């Protein structure tokens, strides 16, 4: 049987994707739809970004100028993950400021926030992984500091797998400025040397290169992971990139399938996606997501 998507990110504060505006009932229906197609892992893409957060955190309220959360999506997601027998990965907070040099503060803040999270939610059965949300496409010294300090702290709080999901400078999104698979490998070699032993899983985003370049990048990614004792997942993005002015809408099913098959061929051990709820859920605000779900279920041989 072909590999399927078994993990998805959860996108719960508006960063660049607008809100589905779901309440508890709609989220519950969404978890049912995930479970029906074999999702066993949900990864919070971020606990917060800039002025917004998924729960009313004392740490964020004190340190940043955040809006009220008006609810507790951490609890909702953990409830649903437990009801559906899924693993939940907690994703860190992204202030946006670390790229410009404030990486020590980003690490400090996230360490304090992780302490609060552990205290409030650490006893939850579904709490099974850490996701460091600070994304880079190439070596970045500030990010290395965030990864090192944060990974040590998170593992100290609880020894759970630590995931990152980098992007890459592919030809589709960066026609002027892309890294070829060879240059990508040289560049990421430096990163992997730094994160070896700290990060357990790397799931590169697969949507930024031309589709037909993907196998070459996936080979590089798998080799880098293998050589550094890191698990290689693939983040099989389920929204369309490249040439389409509407950013972002559900991907063509044929494109998703192509990328899944490429990841399997490269030897990735698990396929996750960004993300189920907007781009392939029957509940999504984008009606073509419902049709993507149907195509995917047909392909899996699931009778909806």
Between 158 and 294, name the residue whose CB sits nearer to a copy of itself.
294
Residue 175 contacts a copy of itself per CB under 8 A: no
Residue 244 contacts a copy of itself per CB under 8 A: yes
Sheet of strand 48-49, all strands in order from the earlier edge strand to the far edge: 52-53, 48-49, 93-94
Residues within window 5-34 making contact with a copy of itself, judged by CB under 8 A: 13-23, 26
Between 68 and 301, name the residue whose CB sits nearer to a copy of itself.
68
Give dist(CA 148, CA 298) in Å, integer: 43
Give dist(CA 54, CA 68) in Å, integer: 9
Give dist(CA 82, CA 71) in Å, integer: 19
Residue choice 1, 68, 100, 301 for contact with a copy of itself (CB under 8 A): 68
Find out whether the peptide bond into 275 is cis, omega within 30 degrees of 0.
yes
Give dist(CA 185, CA 204) in Å, integer: 13
Element containing residue 169 per DSSP (H, E): none
Number of residues lying near a copy of itself (CB under 8 A): 50
Residue 108 CB, nearest approach to a copy of itself (Å): 21
Residues within window 205-234 making contact with a copy of itself, judged by CB under 8 A: 210-212
Give dist(CA 210, CA 227) in Å, integer: 26
> What phi and psi values does residue 252 have, to the nearest 5 degrees?
-65, 135
Residue 295 contacts a copy of itself per CB under 8 A: yes
Residue 62 contacts a copy of itself per CB under 8 A: no
Q: Which range touches a copy of itself (CB under 8 A), out of 29-37, 139-147, 193-201, 280-288?
A: 280-288
Q: Which range touches a copy of itself (CB under 8 A), out of 60-68, 106-114, 115-123, 179-187?
A: 60-68
Residue choice 83, 186, 226, 254 for contact with a copy of itself (CB under 8 A): 254
Among 116, 124, 126, 197, smallest CA distance to 157 is for: 116
Q: Which range touches a copy of itself (CB under 8 A), out of 34-42, 106-114, 123-131, 279-287?
A: 279-287
Contact 266, 215 (CB under 8 A): yes
Q: How far apart are the first and last CA of the chain?
A: 19
Residue numbers at the binding site for a copy of itself (CB under 8 A): 13-23, 26, 51-52, 65-71, 210-212, 240, 243-255, 257-258, 284-288, 291-292, 294-295, 298
């Amino acid at each position: 049987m072909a590999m399927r998507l078994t993990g998805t990110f959860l996108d719960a504060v508006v960063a660049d994707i607008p809100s589905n505006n779901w309440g508890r009932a709609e989220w519950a229906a969404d978890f049912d739809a995930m479970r029906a197609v074999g999702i066993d892992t949900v990864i919070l893409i971020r606990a917060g970004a800039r002025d917004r957060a998924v729960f009313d955190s004392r740490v964020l309220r004190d340190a940043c100028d955040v809006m009220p959360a008006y609810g507790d999506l951490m609890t909702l997601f953990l409830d649903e993950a437990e009801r559906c027998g899924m693993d939940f990965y907690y994703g860190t907070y992204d202030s946006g400021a670390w790229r410009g040099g404030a990486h020590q503060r980003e690490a400090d803040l996230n360490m304090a926030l992780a302490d609060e999270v552990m205290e409030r939610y650490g006893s939850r059965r579904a709490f099974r992984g850490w996701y460091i949300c600070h994304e880079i496409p190439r070596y970045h010294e500030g990010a290395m500091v965030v990864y090192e300090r944060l990974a040590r702290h998170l593992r100290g709080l609880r020894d759970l797998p630590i995931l990152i999901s980098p992007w890459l400078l592919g030809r589709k999104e960066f026609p002027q400025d892309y890294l070829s698979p060879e240059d990508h490998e040289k560049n990421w070699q430096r990163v992997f040397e730094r994160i070896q032993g700290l990060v357990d899983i790397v799931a590169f985003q697969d949507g930024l290169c031309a589709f037909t370049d993907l196998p070459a990048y996936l080979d590089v990614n798998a080799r880098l992971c293998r050589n550094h004792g890191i698990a290689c997942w693939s983040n099989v993005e389920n929204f369309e990139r490249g040439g389409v002015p509407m950013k972002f809408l559900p991907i063509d099913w044929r494109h998703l399938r192509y990328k899944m098959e490429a990841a399997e061929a490269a030897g990735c051990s698990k396929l996750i996606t960004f993300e189920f709820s907007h781009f392939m859920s029957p509940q999504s605000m984008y009606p073509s997501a419902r049709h993507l779900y149907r195509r995917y279920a047909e392909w899996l041989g699931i009778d909806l």
